[in-house]
Chain A
Amino acid sequence: MKPFHALLFAFAAITPLAARADTPSPFSLSGFGTLGAARTDNATRAFRANSVSDSGAGASFDLSVDSVLGIQGSLQIGSRLDLTLQSVVRKSPTGSYDPRVTWAFASYQATPELLLRIGRTRLPFFMYSDSLNLNYANPWIRPPVEVYSLNPLSDIDGADALYRRQIGGTDIELHAYAGHSAMNIRGGSANLDKIRGLKASFSRNGLTAQFSYAQADMSLRWSDAHFLSLQQALVATGYGAIVPELSGTDGKTSFMSAGLQYDQDRLLLIAEIARRNVDRYIDTGMGWYVTAGYRTGAFTPYLTVARQRETSPVSSAVTGVAALDIGLAAFNAGRNKAQRSIGAGLRWDAGRNVAVKAQLERIQPGPGGLGIFLPSQLGDYLKPDGPTHVLSLAVDFVF
């Protein structure tokens, strides 16, 4: 990905010179970011913005959960062809801050209604998938984790087609896509291959309804200490047949979601429901949230209620050997992100390009797992206890 970053810097170098010409520059360069701090009221529970990070915010303010910086360059080639490149710096699931290319595609306006793109775009499983890092464009500090943690992979390398037209005052967008996606997590890796999906949106008078379906082949390879010792114990005691249910390359998955957004004048209403079906390696679950907000001047207070529920665990195998069954139960519980939450927040559009946000959530993890939290001890996955409160503060900006 080094050449991409070199190209971004080239955009940056050329843009100011081109801006004084007699014709508009074919280059444009812009950026966005968030400086965010989050903390919990429980030192033994680390709050994360996704389900795969190996660290999170504890009982003191932590800048790594929500802070992000993105730069985007675009180049117009002729009247129909554009190149777009976006690179983002934020703490990765493995703890590094290496810049990641989040968009890198060529788009071709084949007809006024049809846009074809090839390259790296965003996996559009959910309503706000496209703007995951772009908190300035969203009301919340971050999209509700009860839905958005169902898919931790954010990019797709492949091709897609966006068909947009207006029929009888309703804007319709159909988005078909295919490709593959890969991600490194500490103690494992995740891949989605042969992804194929379809998303349909209908908008009219501030009301948008959206439906999405996708399926893919899935590989999930765990290599953390807990999995390795469990695997060893299962094989040694003659229960090796269970191992291919826990980790491997033969999974099948599908994602379904439906969303509704009403954003007109003062009222903001958002509701989304999503389901992840998986045949092995990770659990099958569903999540939903409802957000209501009200704009009064530069302030938008909002409330969110959300829930994720597990519908079937990673493995339902039972060995009858107590030590093995406890190990399996802990493995299942560690992958069960069930939780419910209620949150209140305030967005303040402080300036032309700046929004300041504060959000307080009360999150009850479980049943059967610790939700989005990371415990200080593995055994805590089996005893979620009472609710944990999360306070988040952020400044979002675009430039």
Chain B
Amino acid sequence: MAMPMESPITFSNVGKIRWWQRGIFASQTGYVLLALAVLLVVMHFASPYFFTEGNMQNVAKNFSFIAIATLGVTFVIITGGIDLSVGSMMCFSAMITSMVMTELSAPGSPAGSLFVHMAADGKTVLANVPGLILLVSILAGLGVALIAGLVNGFCIAVLGLSPFVTTLGMLSIVRGLGYVVSNGRGSFPGGPDADYFYALTSGDVLGVPVPFIYLVILALAMAVVLHHSSFGRHVFALGGNEKAAELTGIPVVRVKIEVYVICALAAGLQGIIISGWLGSAPANMATSYELNVIAAAVIGGANLAGGIGGPLGAIVGCVLLEVIRNGLVLAQVSSYWQQTLVGVIIILAVLVDRIRSRMI
């Protein structure tokens, strides 16, 4: 029996789980990653334009536009919840950010007088540090997301409402509020800090789109939080067995509220980034994006029953969706096929995982 010396137990009946039977190799994420790799190879042969720098940048940018929100919703899905309000949240945060920015940049307005004043030649001059308006407006956008997330979390964790119903309501509430504050018109980021705003949301660093950089940083942070902090451990425990989590003294209510807040903040940030790319925050922005986001999370291996999921899966799901979309365009297939294919892939991904877990 070749056991390490320090082991106080001899394992005579219990075999060791092999490396390919554990971790990523035994997860849906692993299989979908493999499928993605195959798809990339196929695309390379199908279209000479696929692996060009321009197209890669385009793909990276496009999937980053839903991937940050997918990271957020993955937290919620791991706890066994769901957040349908992410699409509306993206729009509302983006809208609040650009409206606050426009308001603060108007010299005559009550709030604006703190930040800008009119010079003698009629030009708007900053009253204080450059970037302050931008900072305040982004904080305002994230602030409304924070509040919506807190309300979601409170209703679900404290009042015990079902996550589906609560966030379905929030979807409508937030979308409605967006129409109310904007009167149905779009809003545009404007004023002296608008250039910074566009640079921070749709610019690139050495050819890498900035949304992609944010995504990588946030995904790494999420991996550390999920697997190396007690909060992450509690998120998984909550999805695995909520009753056990409660009995072992995990602050279930707090963890639940926190995941909905994280999800709303991620959606808000995502919305702000999208509005920078669009150049405006229209009132119907990101409509039904929640479905793409949840689909990406599920394709990437997050289990809607709770307990399973992670940042890699969220990103793989988003990349797969985007590569399919991009591939269909390059292959000159009607883009109307996209939705149908996405649906097929959702079912296939879950089916393959189901078959695999039956075989073991």
Q: Specify whether A and B are partners.
A: no
- Residues of chain B whose beta carbon lies under 8 Å from any beta carbon of chain A: none
